[in-house]
Structure 1
Amino acid sequence: MSLTLDTYRPLGRSGLRVSPMALGAATFGTEWGWGAGPDESRKLFDLYVERGGNFIDTANTYTDGSSERLLGEFTRDSRESLVLATKYTTLRRLGDPNSGGAHRKSLFASVESSLRRLGTDYIDLLYLHVWDFTTPVEEILRGMDDLVRQGKVLHVAISNAPAWQVSRMQAIADLRGWAPLVALEIEYSLIERAGERDLIPMAREMGLGVVPYSPLGGGVLTGKYSRADLTAQDGASDEGSSRKSFNLALGTVTERNLAIADVVKEVAAELGRTPAQVGLAWTLRKPGVTAPVVGARTPEQMEGNLGALEVELTAAQLGRLDEAGRIELGFPHDMLASDHIRRVTTGDLRIETGR
């Protein structure tokens, strides 16, 4: 069954309704050496919203603040109908230790700055962007709850954090009557599936909607990399060369990942679709996933990405894709799923699960 941007999904345990694909605004601005200028960014925004999209993802330091500033301009006449998500914790001023981190001072200062840049008096969804390993969880949760009570933030969420800390935070929020976490943003794609070990099962159990970023594996799943890139020292010399060099430096171009991309290309050829559309369609249909974050530099790229909503994968194709990128879940998951454990715990009993 195909989807549309106006086929809305509830976000986690909240009643907030969001599109099944979020518009990633990290490409709004060219300060990082790639991305879209103001005019192109406006076209991307308009294309997404005109198709019924309402879920927009940014962060306080994306493109050195330009992402939020541009969104403030673009959303001026449609603010109430949109769900704006932003983040805090990354350094806003180099050399200032309190301009970043998860603590209360950083949280309040970052939110005030984001509100000014976005030209709004509230943020629909605020993520803790990166776990800092130093701030007590009670300080984070109480600060977030205070902002919710003040009306400056409507819902809170978390990204890039250990599963055990997220579940602990959710339990504390519930016990103390503080605002619960409603979303978990993680890197998740056919080539990055570590979230299947603990993060995604935890999110489903604790009521957090999963919002995957980099659902195309840094572009690897689009088919733009080849085995020649395995030994490349520099990126290509085209407009996206800086981004390509960045991805090569991150080590996402590996023999394993290129083999997965080959399977994606095979399935795409069978369906008459692009590899990017197939890679996104797989993520869109994974249990627990609310909305992958999809960015683009041009309207043509955005149109292509939105085409993933219409892709219908057969059970056999899903199985091939799953198998291509399958990972070992490790202990205790593989042990608990083994035939031996099934025999010693349930024997021949028939027990219905998943209710």
Structure 2
Amino acid sequence: MSHPASLDHYRLLGRSGLRVSPLSLGTMTFGADWGWGADEAEARRIFDAYVDRGGNFIDTSVNYTNGASERILGRFIKRQRDRLAIATKFTMARDPANINSGGNHRFNLVRSVEASLAQLDTDRIDVMYLHAWDFTTRPDEVMRALDDLVRAGKILYLGICNTPAWRVAEMQTLADLRGWAPLVALQIEYSLVERTVEHELLPMAEAMGLGVLPWSPLGGGILTGKYSTADLSDENGADVAPSRRGVIASTGHLNRRSLDIADAVGMVAGELGASRSQVAIAWTLVNPAVVSPIIGARTLAQAEDNMGALAVRLSAEHLALLDAASAPAPIFPARFIGRPMAQQLIFGTAALSARR
């Protein structure tokens, strides 16, 4: 996949024909209900800056900032609805006291879609993601319920987030065999501090026709250099409200290794005359499975800086430096099959020029 030059250098979303920008605008920061987001006026400036540059793919969720994200976004998109592709998500509980207001089951899916349509004040959801696998609902219930909503015209395309690769492959195969709407997008955490998805999720996505949309390409801000050894934490709290730092700490990324990776990003940024954020985002775009990293900003200045990542070109030397700092350890079976002895046992002594 060629390197995009600007937001209006559109790409196909997975196996679909939907054309989307090479950076998606994340709106988890729209609304101050969680204590650290942008107010509506600043959110409007961020939205306008993205759309004015040709951006057309906007990401939200039914539960972001307690529904304020979708309501704010609904007001913004009103006059240009058909030039924008709006993606939202279901799974997360809308009412903590109601056991069925969260999860992947049909009951929650239908109610969540109705809530999103009302909050966004729109007639359809362009891309609907399953937000996270709940480890309780059967795959056939999920895919059949999603297909019913596609057939009803309430959803146009399907995606999935934060789910094991084998489960996504099972669901995609089930949809293909039964003639149901397929998954076309995979949203996963992917950055220089989270590369374990390269083992299974990214190859699976390429093989099964899902375009990858990395969330948190800045590692929750760690790769921007904003944290130091004084911030190291193994906190694992459940409350998203107290602070943005608390949310990042809860991911487990505030560790010494992440800070070392951030230092490497800083070295590359200094050589290129780019910001650390731009280098981190540009790195995700190098992977051919990646369609559109999700940028989330609390200020217009942050958003404009992030959009500048499309102008950054990383050399082979820069990529090698970043890889040396961040490469994940190999896992089985790739670790075993990739060794010389296993390769010779599989292919013999002859060389194979290409593998699929």
In structure 2, stretches of 5+ residues that fail to align are: 236-240
CA RMSD of superposed structures (Å): 1.5
User: Contact (CA 8 Å) 1:173, 1:179: kept in 2 or not?
Assistant: yes
Q: Shift of residue 351 of structure 1?
A: 1.7
What's the CA shift string for 1:199-256, capped at 9, x where partnerless? 11111111101111001001000011112222799xxxxxx98212332344321110
Q: Shift of residue 3 of structure 1?
A: 1.7
Residues 125-136 of structure 1 correspond to what in structure 2 (within 5 A)? Answer: 125-136=127-138
2:194 aligned partner:
192
Structure 1 length-normalised TM: 0.95
Residues 77-88 of structure 1 correspond to what in structure 2 (within 5 A)? Answer: 77-88=79-90
The aligned amino acid for 2:38 is A
How far apart in 2 are the matches of 1:99 and 1:2?
A: 39
User: Contact (CA 8 Å) 2:234, 2:254: kept in 1 or not?
Assistant: no
How far apart in 2 are the matches of 1:328 and 1:230?
A: 22
1:304 aligned partner:
305
Structure 1 runs of 4+ aligned residues shifted over 6 Å read: none
1:294 aligned partner:
295
How far apart in 2 are the matches of 1:324 and 1:335?
A: 23
Structure 2 length-normalised TM: 0.95
In structure 1, stretches of 5+ residues that fail to align are: 234-239
SS at match of 1:75: helix
User: Contact (CA 8 Å) 2:4, 2:22: kept in 1 or not?
Assistant: no
Is 1:334 paired with 2:335?
yes
How far apart in 1 are the matches of 2:286 and 2:56?
A: 19
SS at match of 1:178: coil
Instruction: Assess, with a 3 A threshold, how the Cα gap between structure 1 residues 329 and 252 changes in structure 2: closer, same or farther.
Output: same
The aligned amino acid for 1:300 is A
Greater shift in the superposed pair: 300-309 or 244-253: 244-253
How far apart in 1 are the matches of 2:266 and 2:182?
A: 40
Instruction: Assess, with a 3 A threshold, how the Cα gap between structure 1 residues 277 and 258 changes in structure 2: closer, same or farther.
Output: same
Residues 261-272 of structure 1 correspond to what in structure 2 (within 5 A)? Answer: 261-272=262-273
1:176 aligned partner:
178
Q: Shift of residue 2 of structure 1?
A: 5.6
How far apart in 2 are the matches of 1:321 and 1:223?
A: 15
Q: Shift of residue 343 of structure 1?
A: 1.6
1:159 aligned partner:
161
SS at match of 1:210: strand
How far apart in 2 are the matches of 1:72 and 1:295?
A: 17
Instruction: Assess, with a 3 A threshold, how the Cα gap between structure 1 residues 17 and 336 changes in structure 2: closer, same or farther.
Output: same
Q: Shift of residue 320 of structure 1?
A: 1.2
Residues 221-240 of structure 1 correspond to what in structure 2 (within 5 A)? Answer: 221-230=223-232
2:238 aligned partner:
none
Q: How many residues align?
A: 349
Match of 1:148 among 134, 137, 150: 150
